[in-house]
Amino acid sequence: MTASPIRVMVADDNPDIAELLAYVIGVESAMECVGCVHSADRLEEEVRALRPDVLVLDARMPGKDPLAAVRDLGPEFPEVRAIFYSGLDDPDFIEQVVDAGAWGFVSKRREADVVLAAIRLVAAGKVVFPERLTRSRRAGLPPAQ
């Protein structure tokens, strides 16, 4: 018996990036991309309809602030684990990502296999943040499940 694939949803305002991520996720046998959105305005309704395990999203999109969207999703969809995939990889922004309740952060400067590894780890209940995040801050991250 094989395990169910990790259901991943992508949110990025750049359709080329969203489609590339969807393709890379789709070729992984242990993952499936269940949908793409190009605005944080539609995240809640799409998460409700698609029920992803992991949400990979950009930090800057038109409409609703993606950080606020992740904060808002948490109470209704605690099982959905968000990973920010962004070029905004300064420590202050990453602190905001943690505060929003995300499970991970991957810089857009990294290769696709780093994103796939982060999806696997987050789906398994582990958090994925850059090493430069302080140990004291890491202590406040969601527990592994």
Q: What is the pTM of this model?
A: 0.88
Query: CB count, 10 Å around CB of 132?
Result: 9
Domain topology for 6-138:
Rossmann fold (3.40.50)
Mean of all residue pLDDT scores within the chain: 88
Over residues 24-58, the pLDDT tens digits come to 999 999 999 999 999 999 899 999 999 999 999 99
The one-letter code for the residue type at 133 is: L
Measured between alpha carbons, how far is 95 from 137 in angstroms, rounded to an integer? 8
Reported as a pLDDT band with limits 50, 70 and 90, residue 1 is very low
What is the torsion angle, in degrees rounded to the nearest 10, for the CA atoms of residue 69, residue 70, residue 74 and residue 80? Answer: 120
Percent of the chain scoring above 90 in pLDDT: 70
